Structure formats: structure tokens, C-alpha cells
Structure 1
Amino acid sequence: MTATAGGNEQILLVEDDDLVRRYVQNQLEQMGYRVTVASSGPTALEIVRQQPTIDLLFTDVVMPGGMSGRELGDAARRLRPDLKILYTSGYSEQAIVHPGRLDPGVKLLSKPFSRAKLAQKVRDVLDE
């Protein structure tokens, strides 16, 4: 599989930083994915409710607005137990896992990430 392997799945991208959100959306769309964006957990959860075609929730772990990425992931899984979830964070995996924010084994893509890493991690999670 090439480093920029893509697909045509529907991805819900949740990122509060406008520049990061636009960059990642652009990268994913160039790989062929259909991308819906949200800048907060509550907005993203409403999208999950309304769009049963979402294949992957790709969310930042630490977000303002009263709902973390982990809380969003948990709520989304209650609505759609089969939903694939990939978290991203600028914090190290240890910093996220140990305070109880994420469970061990949760799929995490650490920031900053390259296009190749983004492509590979998204494809790996979708293919599981």
C-alpha cells in the first residue's frame, strides 16, 4: 500500500483550530475521502445523529466548548457502536492515556503529523 493510500469513505473531522481543520480537510479530500467538518464536540455529535453514512470520526482529544474528543467519541459510540474513531492530539500519548483521557489501545495520531502518516493511520483504522 502506498503512503498516500486513500479511499472514498465519509470522515467527520472535528478540530477547533481553523488552520489545522482546513489543512487536514484538504489532505483527506485529496486522498479521495468525503469530509464533513465540525469545530466542536456538540456540533459533531449532531452530525453523527443526522448522517448515518459517517465511516470514521477523526477528532482532536483536547477541545474547548465543554466536550472533549473522548467524551464525543463515547457519545458517538452510544449512537453508533460500529463507528470507527481516530483521535489526534498535540500531547504525547502518555500525557493523554495516563490521566484517564484515553484508554490504552485507543487509536491516536500525534500532532504534528505528515500527509503519509495521516493517510496510513486513517486507512489502518478504516480497514480494521
Structure 2
Amino acid sequence: MTATGHVLVVEDDPNVLDITSYVLELEGYDVLTAMNANEALTTLADHPEVELMLTDVNMPGDMDGIDLVRELHRQGSAVSCVVVSGDALHASDRLGKMNTSAAFLAKPYDRRSLLKAVSDAMAH
């Protein structure tokens, strides 16, 4: 079964960005990418078809991934979010305080857990 939908992957590590995008594209998703929160906000504004954003927490710039999710929530965006981090405790604690439906995916993740997180978030 082929997945469908538009996903934005926000990741500052080019290797992780490429591999994650590739796995999602193989599954059937249309994938856009951004290297930081500001690029992500611009991409989302230009591509209203994006249904899900997968974002790393730690990124360069004035906004990290959780701040990015907070900004989308503030804007009333309908984009589903999956937040990825190697520091599960800190990230999930910050997400929990935000009153948002963002899902969490711990790094390192494998193909199966990535696809499950994206599929589950797309279903909401």
C-alpha cells in the first residue's frame, strides 16, 4: 500500500534530512524540506497542501523545533506535527506544557518507527 500526503521535513543535518526524505518518498509521500524554522515557515506559507511537518528540535536560528510548533499553533495552522529529538525527556516535557497535539519521535529512529509516527499523525 502506498502512502499519500504532503510532508515537510525540517532538519539541519543534511544527511538526516536526505535519508528521512528518501524513506518518506519511497513510501509515497510528497516531501518538501527545510533546514531551519524560518525556511519551514516560508515553505508552509507557500505550500498550503502540506499536511504534516516532521521537525527536529535542535536547529540553528532563533527558533528550535518546539518553538516552530508553538508558532504554528499560535497561527491556528491545521498542519499536524511530529517532533524529533535525541533528548526525549526534555522535548516531551516542553511539548506537554504547550497543550498541542504534536507527536514525539525519539532519535535515533528506524524506518518503521518513522513511517508509523508519520502515518499516525496524518490520521489525526
Count of matched residue positions in the alignment of Structure 1 and Structure 2:
121
1:63-101 Cα offsets, whole Å, 9 max, x none, are: 111111111112223345321011101112x22233xx3
Unaligned 5+ residue runs, structure 2?
A: none
Unaligned 5+ residue runs, structure 1?
A: none
By relative contact order (CA 8 Å, sep 6+), the higher-ranking structure is: 1
The root-mean-square deviation of aligned C-alpha atoms, in Å, is: 1.6
1:33-58 Cα offsets, whole Å, 9 max, x none, are: 00000001001001111111000011
Aligned ranges 1:1-128 → 2 under 5 Å: 7-92=3-88, 94-98=89-93, 101-103=94-96, 106-128=102-124
Return the structure number with greater helix share: 2
> Displaced runs of 4+ in structure 1, greater than 6 A?
none
Structure 2 counterpart of 1:37, which letter?
Answer: T
Q: Percent identity?
A: 31
1:80–1:12 CA distance, 2 compared to 1 (3 A):
farther
